[in-house]
Amino acid sequence: MPSKVFRDSVQSNPFIFATVILLMAIGCGQSKPIPAEIVGDSMAPLLCGAHLSQRCPQCDCAFVCRIDQNLKTVQCDYCGSQFAPQGKALSADRVQVTPGQIPQRWDIIAFEHNDSTMIKRVVGLPGETISIADGNIIINQNVAVKPDAVSTQTRYMVFDSQHCDRTTSSGPANYEFNSNHWENENGTLLHRPRETTGQTHDWINYRHHRNYPHFKNTADEAAETEWPAIQDNNSYNQNVGRKLNDVHELAIQLDLNVRCGSTFKIQTTRPQGTCFLSFEVDPSSPQYQIEFSDGKRAATAEGTLQTAGEGPHAVSLLFSNIDRRIKVAIDGDVLIDERDKFDDLVIPSKVLGSTLKFGFSDASWGIVTRCRIWRDIHYFAEAGPPKFGLPMTLEQGDYFVLGDNVAVSRDSRHFGPIKKLIGVVQQ
């Protein structure tokens, strides 16, 4: 069979521009994987059409962005630097489409719609009632929890201490210290124990920076002087103007060096109260205990560090509240995974800087070698016409699909459920 080229129509709204074009040979009754090429932005940055590779000359952060003939400058999300596009053009990503498979939630699929072949991610299955609220997919009134692999694919990094000014005595500009017991050694933050202790902590407050153009007025400048929100912008969508959404669900990974007897905490404050994650190493052995608590409910776990002796021990600590799921991992091993007990926990990003802090107890020796913060993908129901109302109950054979690049994707929010499935996409 000759190749066929299918094109998705382009929305007329200039603030939401996206096409997904899939070039593929479709044979009659073919069941073997079909090679396909991505053209467009709706699944970026996971799957991209032709795009640009950039590296910030200021902070050395690497990122990709859409190809735009009118793109005179690009802006780095990490440090806010603006510079002329200077990376090389990369060819479109290629995938395989396997016909005949029944898709599961979170699978990426190829399907036909209005004489176009498109790819999106499945979020709603036949018979389910689907809606979107607070950035999450809601299935039959419950938050749909993404598997770890999908969560990793769809989250977006908003801070990495390796891409900051590592020479100042106070560390990255995103950090504010509440004591002088921290020392910055080329980006590595060393905490020395106090001679006299009072069972307190020496904190580092995280303050988010808006490293993108945004409208400013008096109220906005006052808010930024306090603690700007993490929002759902991303560097791929250069030159795309739209209203941004505050994102409340985050993943925080801290690479530490600790010794026996060290105690480290992550603390967040919200309108309902304060919650904390405590990581404490036994004084006489490399055994540790971790606890997450919101003051009323608690989840605990324990384990043994990978190296013996007093230390220092290198530890990677991950905490996330993505999809209302509390997850805590040490060196990649998930030790706390609570999907129901804390399902009402939300970190209010409006005052994120004052609510997110971490640090060692005053008696602890410890080092923070790296801090990374990701935001969850933020789904929203707003769409240009035609718009399908939510909640929606899917009929037999219906699938509700969304693009990962939600801001520019044309998907089931616009044209409703899809039925003409071609196959499941493998990267």
Mean pLDDT of the chain: 83
21 and 165 part of one domain: no
Of 351, 374, 397, the last residue of a domain is 374
207 and 239 part of one domain: yes
306 and 172 part of one domain: yes
301 and 179 part of one domain: yes
363 and 384 part of one domain: no
- Per-residue pLDDT, 17: 28
Q: How far apart are CA 277 and CA 191, in angstroms?
A: 19
CATH code at position 417: 2.10.109.10
What's the pLDDT tens digit per position in 205-225?
A: 888 877 665 544 444 544 444
- Per-residue pLDDT, 418: 95
Q: How far apart are CA 78 and CA 156, in angstroms?
A: 12
117 and 214 part of one domain: no
Which of these ranges, 246-255, 274-283, 380-389, has the smallest mean pLDDT? Answer: 380-389
201 and 320 part of one domain: yes
pTM of the entire predicted model? 0.87
Which of these ranges, 68-72, 185-189, 238-242, 415-419, has the smallest mean pLDDT? Answer: 68-72
pLDDT at 119 over 80: yes
What's the pLDDT tens digit per position in 143-163?
A: 999 999 999 999 999 999 888
pLDDT at 365 over 90: yes
Per-residue pLDDT averaged across 253-259, rounded? 97
- Per-residue pLDDT, 287: 95
Instruction: Tell me, yes or no, whether 66 lies in a domain.
Output: no
Whether omega before 99 lies within 30 degrees of 0, making that bond cis, reads no
Count of structural domains, the chain: 2
Torsion of the alpha carbons at 177, 324, 246 and 369, rounded to the nearest 10: 30
297 and 420 part of one domain: no
191: tokens are 């905490």
Range of the domain at 9: 4-50+91-132+379-426
Confirm if 362 and 194 have CB atoms less than 8 A apart.
Answer: yes
pLDDT at 23 over 60: no
Per-residue pLDDT averaged across 375-393, rounded? 88
- Per-residue pLDDT, 354: 44
Choose between 336 and 134: higher pLDDT: 336
Sheet holding 420-426, edge to edge: 4-6, 20-24, 34-40, 94-99, 420-426, 108-113, 116-124, 400-402
